[in-house]
Amino acid sequence: MSFFEVLSPVPRKIDMGGDLPLRFTTRPLLGRVVWPLLGFVVFVVLPVGYALDQRMSVADLREDWLLPLSVTLGLFVSVTHLVRCLRTRLEVVVTNAQVSLRGAGALSAFTWDEPLASYTRLDCERRHHPDWIGAQDEYCIAMAHREDPERNIVVHWGRDARRFEDRLARYAQLLRLPIRREQRALAEQPRRAAAR
């Protein structure tokens, strides 16, 4: 398992909580609202402000067709992307019997229900990024689906090792699932020792 192979599209530093039902809601595209707003200002507000400042009549706008075309296309594209960013939402709910994922907007394909019995274990991964400035370890806990890895659910993702261990023990107790730690980290230890 790799962090980026877990296909429930959730941002970093998530934690569903410690009691059933586990619940997580996110709006992953909300941070991208800036780009449609910028497009709206550049292609709609500025041309309209220019036309008003120049006191352009409707006849002038018919002759200079590029300005109305820019405003129309800018309005369509920026409003479409703005609505997409605001409507996109993902909600994950894990109860003692069922796992539900509800996506809206751009994530509407991510909508399904599964019985909890379809999940076989909790997969854990620790990732270290030595090339990052101020590199920290990242920890992930995901519920592994028996047949379809696209239905794996991330229940915890963060950088605090103590919180990771607490959550891992709590989720294993709540969900009654065995724990499988990533073997890659264990396999790298002899290689590191041999390199020294």
Cα–Cα distance between 44 and 93 in angstroms, integer?
A: 41
Q: What is the pLDDT of residue 10?
A: 46
Enter the pTM of the model.
0.67
In sequence order, which residues have a C-beta less than 8 Å from that of residue 157 and are 6 or more positions away? 3, 10, 12, 13, 14, 15, 138, 139, 140, 141
Cα–Cα distance between 181 and 141 in angstroms, integer?
A: 9
pLDDT digits 0-9 by tens, 75-97? 999 999 999 988 988 888 999 89
Q: What is the pLDDT of residue 37?
A: 93
Residue pair 1/144 in contact (Cβ under 8 Å)? The answer is yes
Span 114-138, average pLDDT:
81
Task: Look at 164 and 135; give whichever has higher pLDDT.
Answer: 164
Q: What is the pLDDT of residue 150?
A: 85
Pick from 127-131, 155-159, 177-181: least confident: 127-131
pLDDT confidence band for 145 (50 / 70 / 90): very high
* Statement: residue 7 has pLDDT above 60: no
Using CA atoms, how far residue 129 sits from 13, 54, 133, 135, 137, in Å, is 16, 55, 9, 6, 7
Q: What is the pLDDT of residue 26?
A: 82
Q: What is the pLDDT of residue 139?
A: 87
pLDDT, the chain, mean: 82
Identify which of 110, 113, 122 has the alpha carbon closest to the alpha carbon of residue 164: 122
* Statement: residue 152 has pLDDT above 60: yes
Identify which of 112, 110, 114, 119 has the alpha carbon closest to the alpha carbon of residue 98: 114
Residue 54 sits at φ, ψ, to 5 deg, of -85, 0
pLDDT confidence band for 187 (50 / 70 / 90): very low
- Record the tokens describing residue 170, joined without a space: 């709590």
Q: What is the pLDDT of residue 189?
A: 47
Amino acid at 87: R
Q: What percent of the chain has pLDDT over 70?
A: 83
Residue pair 177/122 in contact (Cβ under 8 Å)? The answer is yes
Q: What is the pLDDT of residue 131?
A: 65
Span 32-54, average pLDDT:
92
Using CA atoms, how far residue 65 sits from 40, 58, 59, 142, in Å, is 19, 10, 10, 55
Cα–Cα distance between 130 and 127 in angstroms, integer?
A: 10
